[in-house]
Amino acid sequence: MPRRCSVCDHPERHSIDEALVSGAPYRGIAKRFGLSESAVYRHKSEHLPAHLLKAKEVEEAAQADDLLDQVRNLQTHALDILESAEKVGDLRTALAAISQARGNLELLGKLAGELDERPVVNVLVSAEWAAIRATIVEVLGPYPSEVSSAVSEALLELEAGQR
């Protein structure tokens, strides 16, 4: 049975999420709330976006909106800093602002469900699928072509959601 996330179960979870969204270092958050650094990191990467999305839809809507707004505010702020740094030619600050803005965009993308970081496996190019497919084609080969055509038609209907 998988172990529950100690941050999700934490009574001050909302404060922890806020600290994570604001970009506070993991070590500091872990120390402040009596957690392990790895638990905080795992919570941010695996549970925070899901939590915010879920919260947006149900009873924690207000909290989630608050967190979303904070991310948006951070993004606005980062872009302001970038603009100011560019005006005075402070390239180091500008690069840091770009980096922060990119991180904000990633987080917003996750919240909007636009970034899916789960690995995608295309089974259609796998050797196993090629072997299965070749076997089916070979077995049906000796039968009249109408048989293969009928199966093919049914499969197309299945693909189109008509079965």
| 149 lies in the site for another protein, by CB under 8 A | yes
| 121 lies in the site for another protein, by CB under 8 A | no
Q: Where does this chain touch another protein (CB under 8 A) — which range of 8-16, 93-101, 107-115, 138-146?
A: 138-146
* CA dist list (Å): 13 to 33, 45, 47, 114: 9, 15, 11, 25
Q: How far apart are CA 126 and CA 131, in angstroms?
A: 9
| 139 lies in the site for another protein, by CB under 8 A | no
The residue within the footprint of another protein, chosen from 4, 87, 125, 128 (CB under 8 A), is 125
Cβ proximity to another protein: between 99 and 143 the closer is 143
Tell the smallest beta-carbon distance from residue 121 to another protein (Å): 12
User: Contact 24/35 with Cβ under 8 angstroms?
Assistant: no
Q: How far does Cα 88 stand from its chain's mean position?
A: 36
| 128 lies in the site for another protein, by CB under 8 A | no
Q: How many CB atoms lie within 10 A of CB 143?
A: 10
Q: Where does this chain touch another protein (CB under 8 A) — which range of 10-18, 76-84, 93-101, 129-137?
A: 129-137
* 154 contacts: CB under 8 Å, gap ≥ 6: 163
19: enclosing H helix or E strand: helix 13-21
Tell the smallest beta-carbon distance from residue 114 to another protein (Å): 23
Tell the smallest beta-carbon distance from residue 41 to another protein (Å): 36
| 124 lies in the site for another protein, by CB under 8 A | yes
* 140 contacts: CB under 8 Å, gap ≥ 6: 147, 148, 151
Binding site for another protein (CB under 8 A): 123-125, 129-131, 133-134, 136-137, 140-141, 144-145, 148-149, 151-153, 155-156, 158-159
